[in-house]
Structure 1
């Protein structure tokens, strides 16, 4: 597993950990615009999750392109060596 894929995995896992750790946000204070922390924290994670998913997708695409380029180069070297 490449370091880039580890970052992708962390970007995708972070929202799950944040939402499943209920005791970290199961409270009323601090309020934001009159809304208890419990609710606005979860809504904030909707936005954060979207951003993290977008980052993970872009990083994964970059990793896929790098792997494809590497595979093409290895194939070209192999074909060149057989001649």
Structure 2
């Protein structure tokens, strides 16, 4: 029997991929400047360049909230599995 502690490696689950996508999407959208570096279409007189960025402030907030809630749910599920494994041993 080995005295080395058990090492639980992180598992890539679909929910974690969704979390990563939610957190990466705003960066990609803002760093791809050529996609929004124009004046038209305007929205209530505001050039596209500006209202597109302001729209991403709201979208980023929503995506971060979604990622956080998914992360919380994933952590609760992991804790439940650990608790069951602890009882089963």
Listed as ranges, the gaps of 5+ residues in structure 1 are: 79-83
Listed as ranges, the gaps of 5+ residues in structure 2 are: 1-11
Shift of 1:33: 0.5
Off by >6 Å, runs of 4+ in structure 1: none
Aligned residues: 78
Aligned mates of 2:50, 2:24 — CA distance in 1:
21
Q: 1:1-20: CA deviations, max 9, x gaps?
A: 11111100000000000000
Pairwise CA RMSD: 0.4
Task: Report whether the alignment pairs 1:38 with 2:35.
Answer: no
Aligned mates of 1:6, 1:70 — CA distance in 2:
20
The residue matched to 1:42 in structure 2 has which SS?
helix
Q: Of Structure 1 and Structure 2, which has the larger fraction of its residues in helix? A: 1
Task: Report whether the alignment pairs 1:25 with 2:36.
Answer: yes
Bigger relative CO (Cα 8 Å, ≥ 6 apart): 1
Which residue in the other structure is 2:75 paired with? Answer: 64
TM-score, with structure 1 as normaliser? 0.92
